[in-house]
Structures are given as structure tokens and as C-alpha cells.
């Protein structure tokens, strides 16, 4: 058993006063020493946090005790250390950026549990569609899955022509933890797809509960780990080093903040080129020191969880 846990979760539910909830949730995470990224919106809650087993257990207990989140499922993984360097609890319009005119609380694709997905995914009348960004599926995806060259889910409507001929098929969408598929599958239904399913809990849950069979490569994650192993049955490497072309599933962010490209980079090229994806990136005057991981915490200007917490206390104690 490793000394830390990583929790991945989301829940589409109605939050009447998201600003107040954000502040309360913020204080809860500080009290439990959790680090990570959490998004609060009127439509629900989405987050990835890390902490000790005891702190994570208490967090899950408290969240699940709230009737609004009774259906929420936590994907729980182990880690050697905190998967984040800081805490961000933010208020936004959506818990996943999409701009899609759908509401998963009303209708979405049929949820398939990992074992159900495993049995159905290879049927002749089934098509798998990856709803993640191009840099994510470049390092790992399911065998035979359709992928889109898109930066984020907002671009999905631009790719409908690529799959309109599949409306008579059973379509199964998948993503990292399931949250994008809630809106993506709902959007496909709106576009006339009749047999729409989604992998419940996403790639991460499939790996944890069903062994990850036929997921090629690694799964890109949005924390210090960058990419994680999923397939315990028949793993392969599908990505190649951005610089030398040798097989590599070691994902990095370019050390040049002006570039910040998400690419596979082998260890040798990372060391030789200071964690940059191209030679011109080395000349960036703000080049970040490369520590071998290729992960750099995003700078957050004008936001401090601790200062925000103190501000709340000052308001309460007046």
C-alpha cells in the first residue's frame, strides 16, 4: 500500500448556491490537507485531489453524506506522493468546458460498467469513440477507437461529419474519468444517434476494475504523474518520442512556457534537450528548469486557497 491516494470524481447535480458551496468545500479541503483541482458549478462538482489514505477516506465520507452527491463515484488510485503541488477550488459555468447545448442531468448515453464494456466493445456493430483531446489519445487509446483531432470538447460539433455514417451502429464513448462522455454522449443523441453508450468511470475505472485489456499505451492525467499505466493484460506502447522517433510513452510538457506542448519525450532526449520539444524552445528566456518529470504546475495569479480561507474567516469573525 502506497502512502498517498489520488481521487478522481465528478457528479452532475444541482447546486443552488455554487459560490457558497465553493467556499465551504474550499475550507473542507484545507482542513483535510488535500491538494488538487476542483471545479464547482451550478451543474455539479468535478475534481481530482490527492492526500493521505485517512484524509481521503474522510473526504469521501463527507462528500457522499451530502444527498446531492449520493450517486457520486470515486475512482481511487495509489501514489508515492502528492499528485499535485497546490490546491485550486474554482467556480465556473461548467464542470467540464464544452459549450454543448445539452444537460446530462436530463439525458445522456447508457452507462456501461467496466465488465459490461469489456464484453461489448469488440462486437461487430459497436464503434468506440474517444472524446479526449489529441495529445491525450496520442499516448494511449483503445484498440480500433475513432479519435478526433481536437484540442477540447468544444470542438466536437466540428467533427460530426466524420462519424455521421455510424448512426446505425452502437456507439460507445469514452474518456479519462467519464465526465466528458456525459455531455458528449448526450450531444450525439441530440444529433440523431440512437444507440449511444458510455464507459462509466472512464479509462481509469476500466483499468482499476477490469484490468485495462486492449487499452494501448498510457492514460494521460492532469496531475504530476502526467500519464499512468492502465493495461495489466496486454500492454503496448503506441506513441513515439517527439524528437528521436523511438517508442516512448513518457509524456512531458515542453519546458518552454511559451510552447508548453504535451508530447512524448524519451528520457535520453529529455536530458539532452532540457525537456524541450524543439530546438527553438531552448531559447525561451523563461525556460523552466527541467527536473526529469516534464510536469510544471500552472501559475495561478490572483488566487490563493489559504488567503481565500483567511478572507472567509475574517468575514465570519466580524
CATH of the domain at 91: 3.30.70.100
Q: How large is the average pLDDT for residues 279-303? A: 84
Q: Is the pLDDT of residue 312 over 50?
A: no
Residue 234 located in a structural domain = no
Q: Is the pLDDT of residue 314 over 50?
A: no
Q: What is the pLDDT of residues 175-214, one digit of tens each?
A: 999 999 999 999 999 999 999 999 999 999 999 999 999 9
Contact call for residues 88 and 300 (beta carbons, < 8 A)? yes
Q: What is the pLDDT of residues 291-302, one digit of tens each?
A: 998 888 766 555
pLDDT at residue 215 in the model: 98
Q: Are residues 90 and 131 in the same domain?
A: no
pLDDT at residue 226 in the model: 87
Residue 223 located in a structural domain = no
Q: Are residues 244 and 285 in the same domain?
A: yes
Domain final position from 95, 123, 149: 95
Instruction: Name the grid cell of 30.
Output: 484545507
Q: Are residues 174 and 243 in the same domain?
A: no
Whether 175 is catalytic is: yes
What is the pLDDT confidence band of residue 318, given thresholds at 50, 70 and 90? very low
Residue 87 located in a structural domain = yes
CA nearest 66: which of 15, 30, 5?
15
Q: How large is the average pLDDT for residues 25-44? A: 97
Contact call for residues 59 and 36 (beta carbons, < 8 A)? no
Q: Is the pLDDT of residue 224 over 90?
A: no
Instruction: Name the grid cell of 31.
Output: 482542513
Q: Are residues 90 and 118 in the same domain?
A: no
Q: What letter would DSSP give residue 298?
A: P
CATH of the domain at 118: 3.40.250.10
Residue 169 located in a structural domain = yes
Q: Is the pLDDT of residue 305 over 80?
A: no
Residue 222 located in a structural domain = no
Report the share of the chain in percent with pLDDT over 70: 93
Q: Are residues 115 and 154 in the same domain?
A: yes
Ranking 29-38, 42-51, 160-169, 217-226 by mean pLDDT, the lowest is 217-226
Residue 69 located in a structural domain = yes
Q: Are residues 156 and 187 in the same domain?
A: yes
pLDDT at residue 18 in the model: 97
pLDDT at residue 72 in the model: 96
- Give the number of other CB atoms < 10 A from CB of residue 58: 16
Q: Are residues 141 and 180 in the same domain?
A: yes
Spatial separation of the C-alpha atoms in residues 122 and 57, rounded to whole Å: 36
Marked catalytic residue, from 29, 56, 175, 281: 175
Q: Are residues 137 and 198 in the same domain?
A: yes
Q: What is the pLDDT of residues 101-146, one digit of tens each?
A: 999 999 999 999 999 999 999 999 999 999 999 999 999 999 999 9
Q: How large is the average pLDDT for residues 269-287? A: 97
pLDDT at residue 301 in the model: 54
Determine the structural domain holding residue 169 and report its residue range. Answer: 110-217
Strand pairing category for 227-228 and 219-220: antiparallel
Spatial separation of the C-alpha atoms in residues 270 and 255, rounded to whole Å: 10
Q: Are residues 88 and 18 in the same domain?
A: yes
Residue partners of 307: CB distance under 8 A and separation at least 6: none
pLDDT at residue 298 in the model: 66
Tell me the DSSP string of 95-162: SS----S--TTT--PEEE-HHHHHHHTTSTTEEEEE-S-HHHHTTEEETT-B----SSGGGGGGGGGG
Instruction: Name the grid cell of 121.
Output: 466493445
pLDDT at residue 133 in the model: 96
Split into its structural domains, the chain has a count of 3
CA nearest 30: which of 309, 225, 315?
309
* pTM (2 d.p.): 0.89
Spatial separation of the C-alpha atoms in residues 219 and 217, rounded to whole Å: 7
pLDDT at residue 177 in the model: 97
Spatial separation of the C-alpha atoms in residues 202 and 112, rounded to whole Å: 10
Spatial separation of the C-alpha atoms in residues 304 and 317, rounded to whole Å: 20
Q: How large is the average pLDDT for residues 258-263? A: 93
Q: How large is the average pLDDT for residues 225-246? A: 95
Amino acid at each position: 500500500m502506497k502512502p498517498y491516494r489520488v481521487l478522481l470524481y465528478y457528479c452532475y447535480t444541482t447546486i443552488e448556491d455554487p459560490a457558497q458551496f465553493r467556499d465551504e468545500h474550499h475550507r473542507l479541503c484545507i482542513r483535510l490537507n488535500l491538494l488538487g483541482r476542483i471545479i464547482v458549478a451550478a451543474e455539479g462538482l468535478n475534481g481530482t485531489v490527492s492526500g493521505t489514505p485517512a484524509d481521503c477516506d474522510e473526504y469521501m465520507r463527507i462528500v457522499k453524506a451530502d444527498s446531492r452527491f449520493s450517486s457520486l463515484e470515486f475512482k481511487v488510485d495509489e501514489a508515492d506522493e502528492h499528485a499535485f503541488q497546490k490546491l485550486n477550488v474554482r467556480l465556473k459555468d461548467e464542470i467540464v468546458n464544452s459549450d454543448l447545448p445539452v444537460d446530462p442531468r436530463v439525458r445522456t448515453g447508457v452507462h456501461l460498467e467496466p465488465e459490461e464494456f469489456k464484453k461489448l466493445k469488440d462486437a461487430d456493430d459497436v464503434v468506440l469513440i474517444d472524446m479526449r483531446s489529441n495529445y491525450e489519445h496520442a499516448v494511449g487509446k483503445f484498440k480500433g477507437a475513432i479519435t478526433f483531432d481536437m484540442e477540447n470538447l468544444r470542438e466536437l460539433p466540428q467533427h460530426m461529419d466524420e462519424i455521421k455514417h455510424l448512426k446505425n451502429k452502437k456507439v460507445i464513448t469514452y474518456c479519462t474519468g467519464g465526465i466528458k462522455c456525459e455531455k458528449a454522449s448526450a450531444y450525439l443523441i441530440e444529433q440523431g444517434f440512437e444507440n449511444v453508450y458510455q464507459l462509466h468511470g472512464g479509462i481509469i475505472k476500466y483499468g482499476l476494475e477490469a484490468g485495462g485489456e486492449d487499452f494501448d499505451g498510457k492514460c494521460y492525467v492532469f496531475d504530476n504523474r502526467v500519464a499512468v499505466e492502465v493495461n495489466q493484460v496486454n500492454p503496448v506502447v503506441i506513441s513515439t518520442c517527439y524528437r528521436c522517433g523511438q517508442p516512448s510513452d513518457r509524456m512531458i510538457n515542453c519546458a518552454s512556457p511559451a510552447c508548453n506542448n504535451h508530447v512524448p519525450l524519451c528520457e535520453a532526449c529529455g536530458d539532452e534537450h532540457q525537456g524541450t520539444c524543439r530546438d527553438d524552445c531552448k531559447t525561451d528566456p523563461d525556460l523552466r528548469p527541467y527536473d526529469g518529470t516534464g510536469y510544471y504546475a500552472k501559475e495561478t495569479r490572483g488566487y490563493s486557497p489559504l488567503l481565500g480561507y483567511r478572507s472567509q474567516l475574517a468575514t465570519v469573525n466580524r
